[in-house]
Structure 1
Amino acid sequence: MKRYSEEQLKDCSKEELIDIVLDVQNRALVYEGKLALNQANQFGSKSEKMKELVPEAQIGLVFNEAEAAYSGETQEPTAEEALSPEPEPEKKRQKKEKGKREKDLSKLPHRIVPHEIPEEELREQLGEGWVRLPDQVYRKVERTVKVEVLEHHIAVYTDKAHKKIVRAPHPAELLDNSIVTPALAADVLNMKYADAMPLNRISEEFRREGLNVCRNALSSWVMRLTERYLSLLYDRLREEMLKQRILQADETYVRVTEDREGGRLGKSVMWVFRSGEYEKEKPVILFNYQRTRESAHPETFLKGWSGILESDAYSGYKKLDRENEGITSAFCWAHARRPYADDLKVMRSRPKEFPEAVIKGSLAYEAEKQIAAIYAMEGREKRESPEVRLKYRRENVKPLVDAYFDWCREHQGEAPTGSKVEEGIRYSLNQESYLRVFLEDGEVPIDNLASERAIKPFAVGRRNWLVIDTKYGAEDSAIVYSIVETAKANGLNPREYLKTLLEEIPKHMDDKDTSFLAGLLPWADKIRLSCSASRR
């Protein structure tokens, strides 16, 4: 911004002074808006729901969830409902199907708790010849945590001459001279990577249960088991993912103690690559740690792959598109919407300055309404086949997209330079060709929110441990997060899946190839049967 001295302002004409004042006002409004947005982001709602599509009464509360969800008419869940593999939504109860109770409880271990009356007391109350009728049965649910030592006794045999010794077959040790078992290791990995618990808290939790394992020992287990066993599956999952035509990508920053810049903690990057949102048969979610955000990293990870990559508008993804003939970039409509949503958030946080009538007459509101209409129309055929979805998009969604870009061109230059609305219009017009890609392929999602959801568990865990000690720890974390999130995407129980992997992979360490991993992929029939999240 040009600075004027008092003498220069005195020499300005009236028109020049008006231009200067208007420019200062516009800049002040922009900076004021940025400050208000920071305050709204810090203290306001973090939701990205479009209020035009979601009635006010349905917008959930977060902080007071317990109070909001409670109703004086709320009924306690029955044992069958609490243990049902598919929890029913909190709506009016429907009549249960016949045999549902037995089906829901059949896979659970049962412990009978008898309640009987001594014979002497029965004779006093009923006299001689009393008869016991069928028991009255009711069910309650109890969750117990039990730590026990598995003492392996390996039978040892010898011949009469004591020249030959034979030992009974027994499982190989996961780690030499370690007490860790597949079940215990799976507990640690599940608590850290699925439940976002740092290792020191896991150690404290174990100590309360009577098991004393220090943080360093847990860390050693995680790194050694990941590098020795789980990395094999990670590599195989990457091979499987690169066979798919539609992928999505995102990234977030992480601080790693070992990777420093000038003695200070630098920002390293955790990338996430995942199957397209509509891939339901073999979904894969993979994390990849790198020191920087350079475009060479996704290019290396996706080497040999061709297809459509959904992402944000980071220039590194555009470079992939430009320099790789087989890769097409598709950009995210949620990112196109956010500048307008941010502007509306600022206005709604200051109702005295921006009454609802002013908000509804703003450019941000008009843009938000048009994008909301695109999402609403797109959502109607979300569950259809790609062919049906593509036809529907061309007939019903494309006209709305065309209208939005016409609106952007019509109002380009009207918003103050540097404002959120100006940013939104500029972003949409600059990325128009990439934002239109979803209209030409029924398998491409409209946005990249699936990737953002996939990376969220890592971001939640990051709040608990803040930094990672070494780049090796970051690489190992990427592997375990990948297996956990892929398991969840395939409807598996992450803990059971990790336990199965640590039971089965060690059996094949002397194999000459890794073909055995095909039977351990999350969509393998055996795995779905034994590790399903609905299996108790």
Structure 2
Amino acid sequence: MDKKYTEVELTKYSKEDIISILLTMQKVTENLSKTCAEQKTQLEQVNQNMKLILEQISISKNKRFGRSSEKMIYDGQLGMCFNEAEVTIETKYVIEPELEEVRPKAYKRRKSSGKRDADLKDLPVEIIMHELTSEELKERLGDKWKRLPDEVYKRLTFHPAEFKVEEHHVAVYAGNDNETIIRGKRPVDLLRNSLVTPSLEAAIMNSKYVNAIPLYRLEQEFLRNDVVLSRQVMANWTIKCGERYLSLLYDKLHKVTLTHFDRHEELVLY
């Protein structure tokens, strides 16, 4: 209703016209209130749906890209901690526990007899003697003494990878005629004119394909042992050895597998 009526103008209308105008205005007001309520309800429903969609997207992202490890709480705050040891004791007074507190009283584990010897039975043994000299024995026991069975204990040592250069000297011989020249027998190289040996290439393949160590880390490990081998060189060795030697084994296994597969089909047909 765009036009605004003054008091003087309203006096010109009859009672029936004024009643009609008021009823029309009331109807319009009711329709407008109803429309606003419906729009408000729809807007609330849209906001609720949007909130649910955002929650589902957040849950999906956490499942796909989130960390699988548990998060730890420090001082009431939830978050990841990379220096867990330092943060754990930063503001706490640590009391060293007693042995009785660490070991449960209800369960006492018995040490299995001979387990250590069984674990070490396949490893090479180096016997290291710890003896006293004759002078020390005479000083402490006199001239008369006897030796009892040795007290034996075992320790396990580890020696890192050791590199050694093999320098091959091939003997060269010449006949009296100064024309005939012969050489000593030399082993066949894994790759001609290459530094690589079977043991070195086996170590590279084992590190990369069994232990999942990238070549650039292996390059750094070799460099710490004063051996300069680039990842490109190691990759070239691995590819050539795979094509030249391992491909033969692969082809043989492939043929054997197909043979067994054909036999299986024949048995099924019969």
TM-score normalised over the length of structure 2: 0.55
User: Which residue is 2:19 aligned to?
Assistant: none
Q: Which structure 2 residues correspond to residues 25-174 of structure 1 after superposition, within 5 A?
A: 25-26=48-49, 28-39=51-62, 41-45=64-68, 93=109, 96=112, 101-145=116-160, 146-153=162-169, 165=182, 167-168=184-185, 170=187, 172-174=188-190
**1:360-397: CA deviation from partner (whole Å, max 9, x where unpaired):** xxxxxxxxxxxxxxxxxxxxxxxxxxxxxxxxxxxxxx
Alpha-carbon contact 1:156-1:168 (below 8 Å) kept: no
* 1:222 equivalent in alignment to 2:222: no
Taking the aligned partners of 2:45 and 2:252, their CA distance within structure 1 comes to: 60
The residue number in structure 1 matching 2:93 is none
Change (3 A) 1:160 1:92: farther
Q: Distance in 2 between matches of 1:224 and 1:174?
A: 10
Tell me, in whole angstroms, the C-alpha distance in 1 between the residues paired with 2:171 and 2:98. 62
2:193 corresponds to 1:177: yes
Distance in 1 of aligned mates of 2:241 and 2:145 = 62
Which residue of structure 2 lines up, in the alignment, with residue 506 of structure 1? none
Change (3 A) 1:234 1:29: farther
User: Aligned letter for 2:225?
Assistant: E
Unaligned runs of 5+ residues in structure 2 are 1-34, 71-82, 89-96, 100-106, 266-270
| Deviation of the 1:138 alpha carbon | 0.9
Cα distance in structure 2, aligned partners of 1:204 and 1:25: 56
What is the CA–CA distance in structure 2 between the aligned matches of 1:107 and 1:159, rounded to whole Å?
Answer: 52
1:204 lines up with 2:227 in the alignment: no
Matches within 5 A, 1:317-356: none
Residues 209 and 120 of structure 1: CA distance in aligned 2, closer, same or farther (over 3 Å): same
Amino acid at match of 1:105: L
Q: CA deviation at 1:27?
A: 5.7
SS in 1 for 2:239: helix
Q: Which has the higher strand share?
A: 1
Give 1:187's aligned residue. 203
- Cα distance in 1, alignment partners of residues 45 and 258 from structure 2: 54
Q: Distance in 1 between matches of 2:253 and 2:61?
A: 40
Which amino acid is the alignment partner of residue 125 of structure 1? Answer: R
**Cα distance, 1:41 vs structure 2:** 4.4
CA distance in 2, matches of 1:72, 1:39: 42
Q: Deviations over 1:335-384 (max 9, x none)?
A: xxxxxxxxxxxxxxxxxxxxxxxxxxxxxxxxxxxxxxxxxxxxxxxxxx
User: Equivalent residue for 2:25?
Assistant: none
Letter in 2 for 1:151: E
Unmatched 5+ stretches in structure 1: 1-11, 48-62, 74-90, 246-303, 308-536
Equivalent-residue separation in structure 1 for 2:109 and 2:240 (angstroms)? 49
Identity level (%): 37
Question: Matches of residues 487-502 of structure 1 in structure 2 within 5 Å?
Answer: none
Correspondence for 1:213: 229
CA separation of 1:135/1:160 partners in 2, compared to 1, >3 Å: closer, same or farther? farther
Cα drift, residue 179 of structure 1? 1.8
- Classify 1:121/1:168 alpha carbon distance in 2 versus 1 (closer, same or farther; 3 Å): same
Offset at residue 144 of structure 1 (A) = 0.7
Looking at structure 1, the residues matched to 147 and 205 of structure 2 have their Cα atoms a distance apart, in angstroms, of: 50
Higher relative contact order (CA 8 A, sep 6+): 1
Give the greater-gyration-radius structure (CA). 2
